[in-house]
Amino acid sequence: MVFDIKMIQNLYESLPQRILQAKEELKRPLTLTEKILYAHLSKDEPIKDYQRGEDYVNFAPDRVAMQDATAQMALLQLMNSGRERVAVPSTVHCDHLIQAYKSAKEDLNTAEITNKEVYDFLSVVSNKFGIGFWKPGAGIIHQVVLENYAFPGGMMIGTDSHTPNAGGLGMIAIGVGGADAVDVMAGMPWELKMPKIIGVKLTGKLSGWASAKDVILKLAGILTVKGGTNAVIEYFGEGAYSLSATGKATICNMGAEVGATTSIFPYDEKSAEYLVATDRKEIVDVINSVKDHLKADAEVENNPEKYYDRVIEINLSQLEPYINGPFTPDAAHPISEFAKVVKEKGYPQAMEVGLIGSCTNSSYEDMSRAASIVKDARSKEVSVKAQFIINPGSEQVRFTAERDGILTEFEEVGATIMANACGPCIGQWKRETENPERPNSIVTSFNRNFAKRNDGNPNTHAFVASPELVAALTIAGDLCFNPMTDTLTNAKGEKVKLKEPVGLELPQKGFGVEDLGYIEPVSEGNNIEVNIAPDSQRLQILQPFAVWDGKDIIEQPLLIKAKGKCTTDHISMAGPWLRFRGHLDNISDNMLIGAVNAFNDKTNSVKNPLTGEFEAVPQLARNFKAKGLGSIVVAEENYGEGSSREHAAMEPRFLNVKAIIVKSFARIHETNLKKQGMLALTFVNKEDYDKVQEEDKISILGLTEFQPGKNLKVKLSHKDGTADTIEVAHTYNQLQIEWFKAGSALNYMKGE
C-alpha cells in the first residue's frame, strides 16, 4: 500500500525544475540537503543564496507525524487554530504510553484501559481533522514512518526528536515541537534557520561485529552532544551505498544525539530494495526519472571541503564496535578499550539487563542479527546471564520475525517480548528490582542514556550499543566481555567463542502482517464532536497565553540557577509523567524537578526569597505566580538537549517564567520557547553565569526596542544592594518577535 502517491508523483514532476532554478541562482553544484530544501521552499519564498547558520527560511513540508505523548498538546493547539482539516498528510502514532512490564499482550491490554481517555481523544480529533491514526501496538512512530511514509527527496516534520530516522530513505525529516506541527497542518509556512551542512564521507565496508550503529556511536564521540547543532549531517561516499536502508535509518535517527537538525543519505539500490519490500514499488517506478537528483552533485562528492561546512571521514572497513555512556550518548568507547574504562571508572561490571528495540534499532535486520548471536550461544550450551528484553519496532516487524522464528530464538533463552512500543527507551519501563536505587549497569540498543531515563534510577549506568553487541553482553552478563577476542564457559566447562553476527537486511519470504493497526480518517469530519471532561486529570482545554504588556521585565525573582546538563528530561520528565501530556496544569508539577540547583547541588530544592524556606521548583513558581510575580531561569550549555517535547517550554510559560537565560540552547528547545512567547536569551560573556546569585531580582531591559540582532541588557540586583548589568544575545527574527508580543505563535496566527 502506498500512502499519498499523488503527492509524491507531483513532487518528483517538479523536482528537476526546482533544482535547476536553485543551481542557476546559486551558480554552483548542490549538496543533497540543498536540493531537497530548495525544492521545498514555501511558495512565496524567493530562491536565493541563503546563508547557512544565519538566514531564516520558510519551507513547505510534505507531511507531519506525531507520537501520542506530543500529539496531545499538538492537537489541543490545532483545535484552537480555526482549521477544519489538516493541509498536509498527517498521522498520529500511539507508541509512548505503553508501559513495558510483563509482556506484549498484557502490557498492551493495560495501556488500552489506563489510557482509554487519551486514545479516544487522539482518535476522535484525528478523525475530525483528517489525520491518519495508528493504534496502540501498531509500532514505534519512526519505524512505522520508515515502512509506510518516508520517501526519497521528501520533507517532513515530526513531533519527536528522532524524526530524522526517515533520512535513511533520503528524506529531510526534522524533529519539532507541536506548535511547529500545527503551523504546517494549518497550511502555514514552516520556518527554519538555513542549516549548515556537515559532510560525512564513508569509505570501505562493514564486516564482522561492526554495524551501522557503530558509525553514529563513533561520530557522537567526534561531534559531542552539541557538535551538530543547526547543521544537517549528509552522508556520502562508496561506503554509504553498502549500508542497508534500515542501517542508514539507525544512523540518521541517532544524529539527534549530536544536536543535528537532521541527517540524510542519498537514494540508492538499497533504498529501492526497501521500498519494494515494503510494498512501495510505485515510488521506485516514478523515482527512476529523477534519481540522479537524489544525491549530491558529483562535483560536491569530488571536492567535499569546498561545499560542506565540515567534512569527516569514517572508514567502515576499520570500524570496530562501540559502547557509549554512561549518562551521555557521546561518551564513545571502542570495544577494545571499554573493559579498561569500566575498571578505571569503577562502573558496575555486572551487566544486569540487555534491551533491544526502540526507534533506533528494532528493524527486521536488527532482530535477525541479534538472534543469530543468541542461537549460536544456545547451540554451544552457553546460558544467558542477564535479563533480556525485546521491543519489536512495528507489528509488521513483529509478525514477520515471529513467522520466521526470530522471536522464538529470544524466547528460548528466557527473553521477554514486549509490545511494539518505545517502552524502556523513554522511561516507560516498570523494572522490578530488590533495590531500585542501587548502582547497576544495563546495555541497550537505544539512542539516549541520560540519568533516570530508562528506569528512574539515577544510579543505573546505561550504555548504548548495537543490538548484536547488546545480545553478546547480555549472554556474558559482563560489561568487560569483548566478543571479538574473549571466550565464554559453557555448561560442559568448555571455553567457546561466539560467532560473528549474521542476518538478513530484508526477510526472504517478504514482510507479512495481519493487521497494520492503521485507521483511515473519514472524508468529512465537521459533524464530529470532541468532548473533554471538565474534571479530567489527563486532558485540559488550552487557554491562550497572555500577550506581552509592552514593558521591560523588572525585578523578577530567580527561580533556579541550573548547574551542568539540563536536558528536556530534566526540565519535563517522561516516565510516569507521560500520562499528563494532555493536561498542562498537571504536568507543570514536574517542571525542572530534575535540574540541579547550583547553590546546593540538589534537585527540586530551591530557596524561596520571601520565606527563606526551600521548596520544590514548580511549587515556588506557583507561589510567585499567585503573588503576581514572574520568575527567571538561568542555566548552562546546550539547555534543552534531548527530546522535542514542547512541554519543557509550555510549563515555564504556564507557570509565568518570563525568560530562560543560558550559555547556549539546543535547537528544538530554543524554537519551542519562541513559539510559546518565551524569552530565550544567551549570555554574551558566558562567565556572567557566575554573577547570578541565589536571591537575585532580575530585570530584562530593552524589550521596548526589541529588534533582530540587537542585544538586550540584564540587571542582576543582589540581596546586598549591589548590582551587575550584563549583556545577553538572542536569535529572534522579526516574525518571532511578533510571536513574543502576541503571547505565542498560535496567538499571532489567530490574530489575538
Radius of gyration of the chain (CA): 25
pLDDT one-digit tens code per residue, 683-692? 999 999 999 9
- pLDDT given at position 752: 56
Handedness of CA 105, 109, 112, 114 (dihedral sign): negative
Q: Shortest CA distance to 207 belongs to which of 314, 317, 335, 313?
A: 317
Percentage of the residues of the chain whose pLDDT score is greater than 90: 96
Average pLDDT over the chain reads: 97
Provide the CATH number for the domain formed by 322-496 in this structure. Answer: 3.30.499.10
The pLDDT of 278-283, averaged and rounded, is: 98
pLDDT one-digit tens code per residue, 573-606? 988 898 999 999 999 999 999 999 999 999 999 9
The pLDDT of 417-444, averaged and rounded, is: 95
For residue 551, give the amino acid letter. Answer: K
For residue 120, give the amino acid letter. Answer: D
The CA dihedral of 641, 643, 645, 650, to the nearest 10 degrees, is: -10
What is the CATH T-level fold of the domain 553-751, as seen in this structure? Aconitase; domain 4 (3.20.19)
- pLDDT given at position 678: 97
Q: Which helix (H) or strand (E) holds 310?
A: strand 310-315
- pLDDT given at position 749: 86
- pLDDT given at position 702: 98
Q: Do the first three CATH levels of 5-317 and 322-496 match, i.e. the same topology?
A: yes
Residues marked as catalytic: 95-96, 160, 448, 643, 645
- pLDDT given at position 436: 86
The CA dihedral of 134, 139, 144, 147, to the nearest 10 degrees, is: -120
Q: What residues does each domain of the chain span?
A: 5-317, 322-496, 553-751
- Specify the pTM: 0.92
The pLDDT of 607-614, averaged and rounded, is: 96
> CB neighbours of 721 closer than 8 A, spacing ≥ 6?
none
Say whether pLDDT at 682 is over 90: yes
pLDDT one-digit tens code per residue, 177-204? 999 999 999 999 999 999 999 999 999 9
Say whether pLDDT at 330 is over 90: yes
Contact between 575 and 456 (Cβ < 8 Å): yes
> CB neighbours of 63 closer than 8 A, spacing ≥ 6?
4, 7, 88, 89, 90, 91, 149, 154, 156
Distance between CA atoms of residues 29 and 504, nearest Å = 37
pLDDT one-digit tens code per residue, 61-85? 999 999 999 999 999 999 988 899 9
Question: CATH: 3.90.76.10, 3.40.140.80, 3.30.499.10, 3.40.50.10490. Which one for 5-317?
Answer: 3.30.499.10
pLDDT one-digit tens code per residue, 127-174? 999 999 999 999 999 999 999 999 999 999 999 999 999 999 999 999
Say whether pLDDT at 368 is over 80: yes
Confidence of residue 242 (pLDDT cuts 50, 70, 90): very high
The pLDDT of 229-243, averaged and rounded, is: 97
